Every structure is written in C-alpha cells, then in structure tokens.
Amino acid sequence: MGVLVYCFAIRGKIRREKEVILDLQEISKIVPTNTKIGVTKKRIEDFTTQTYFQRYHRLELANDTTLNFFLVDSLHGDPLFRHPNYGRVNINTSRYVLYRKRSRE
C-alpha cells in the first residue's frame, strides 16, 4: 500500500536530469519532431543527452554544421559556437543554447 501512495505522490514530477528535460521541453517548441540537430563531437559522446532527446521528442543529434539547428551545452564545456550561417534562438533554457540556420535572402 505504501508503494502505491509513494508512486502517486511522485507522479508527474521530474526526478532525474531535470535541467535536460526542462530545456528539452523549450527546445521542442521550436524544433519539429523527427529533426536532426547538429552538436559538437563532445555531445555525440554524451549518451544521456542523446537518449533524452530521442526518447521524449524523437530528435536526432549529429556532429554536423549543415543542419537547420545546432545545439551547444553551455554548462558542460562545449566551446562557444560561432558560425556565420547560424543565429542564436532566444528561448528560456538553462543548460543548452540553440542556434538556427539563417535563411539566405
């Protein structure tokens, strides 16, 4: 009985990787499901990040600077991203910084 009460009490609460999940919720408002997002080589090797992005929003991470979006982990040592074809997306995230490819006009 106690297990049921505990399970009901924690239902819907983020328990692990809260920062990743909250940022991902903001990112998913901009980036469509089934989209490939460019990341640094260091992020490709971060299986926790890859798992959450794939599991919750079916977003694939790739070490590629030709995609429409690029993601930088500002808290875990990713270098500043300076690329002439991308501009920063202003969203309320604490860990990740999202960039979008500029349109050619």
Confidence (pTM): 0.80
pLDDT, tens digit, 9 for 90 and up, residues 36-91: 999 988 888 888 889 999 998 999 999 998 999 999 988 766 667 778 889 999 99
Question: Where do the domains of the chain lie?
Answer: 16-101
Residue 28 to residue 52: CA distance in whole angstroms: 12
Q: What is the pLDDT of residue 2?
A: 60
Q: In this model, does residue 14 exceed pLDDT 70?
A: no
Residue in the structure block whose two tokens are 């794939």: 54
Over range 86-102, report the average pLDDT: 92
